[in-house]
A and B are shown apart, each in its own frame.
Chain A
Amino acid sequence: MKIRDIVLIGLFSAIITAGKLALNFIPNVEIVTLLFIVYTLSLGIRRSILISIVFVTTDIFIYGFSTWILVYYIIWPVLIITTNFFSKKFKSEYIYAAIAGILGLTFGIYFAIVESFFYGWAYGLTYWARGIPWDIIHGGSNYIITLTLFKPLTNILKSQMKRFK
């Protein structure tokens, strides 16, 4: 790995953490999903996965270790791999907005599954059911944010990466 890659990974993970903290005051509205999609298309899958690992590890330093951290270590790389898979076939922002929307809508399920391992399936089911209104907000906002910002952000980052090379 080159030094510039190490710098890029640190810089872009810091941007995601800052973006997450900046929108913390609005529950379940975030730009983390959008940024990971944009990163995957602009920086490539390898760098993006490393960014996700640094980002989640930074979260441990900010919020402490909890069960949701386990999901974070899985969910963001899965999003990056999914985005990378779709990027070979689709260019439309509607596809990526749909990916972001589906991730937001189903977000609670992944955490419920992990919670079930610790506290039983009844707890997991209740956990998911109680979070449905928040998942609706998450899915809807993810879709709109991605649909609106995907193209300008990807264009800027791709052009910057060309200069970088």
Chain B
Amino acid sequence: MKSKKLLVILSILLIAMLSYLGYNTFFAPQSIEGSKDVTLQIVIDTQDIEETISYNTEHEFLYDLMREKEEELGASFEDSSLGFMLTGLMNYTVNSDKNEYFHILVNDEDAMNGIQEIPLNDQDYYRFELRKW
């Protein structure tokens, strides 16, 4: 009876691992290697901040580029169980008591992933707006 249960548990683990790998292989955002020109725009209305910065980068994801330019962007991040969250830009840190967050738009469309999963594409435009939820 116990060995049957163990077999079932191992089978479930195997199926879950294969499904997870399958998802990451076929559906997860794919990055592009090589050099790319990208533009970052930061808008913090409450602080009268509007900055546009262009970069040439070899990085494949937005988070990696922002980490490299952390000082220049005045960026800060918070590690959570779901990955890194952007909490500050231009040395302004979001006030969670006021329900503030940085809304990310990619080519003027709402980003559907977190910064670690947003791939960098040549000529793409990333806009960060301080908003309230």
Which one of A24, A94, A144 lies within 8 Å of B81 (CB-CB)?
Answer: A24
Contact B13 A130 (CB under 8 A): no
What is the interface of chain A mostly: helix, strand, loop, or mixed?
A: helix
**How many residues of chain B have a CB within 8 Å of chain A?**
17
Which one of A101, A126, A137 lies within 8 Å of B20 (CB-CB)?
Answer: A137
* Shortest distance from the beta carbon of B17 to any chain A beta carbon, whole Å: 8
Closest to B110 in A: A123
Contact A136 B112 (CB under 8 A): no
B16 at the interface (CB under 8 A from A): yes
For B5, list chain A residues within 8 Å (CB).
147-148
Given A24-B81, A147-B5, A133:B12 Cβ within 8 A: no
Interface residues on A, range: 20 to 34
Which one of B15, B24, B81, B113 lies within 8 Å of A130 (CB-CB)?
Answer: B113
Contact B9 A144 (CB under 8 A): yes
Binary CB contact string for chain A from 117 to 138 against chain B (1 if under 8 A, 0 otherwise): 0000001001001101100110
* Shortest distance from the beta carbon of B11 to any chain A beta carbon, whole Å: 10
Given A136-B23, A137-B20, A27:B82 Cβ within 8 A: yes
- Chain B residues within CB distance 8 Å of chain A: 5, 8-9, 12-13, 15-16, 19-20, 23-24, 27, 81-82, 110, 112-113
- Chain A residues within CB distance 8 Å of chain B: 24-27, 94, 101, 123, 126, 129-130, 132-133, 136-137, 139-140, 143-144, 147-148
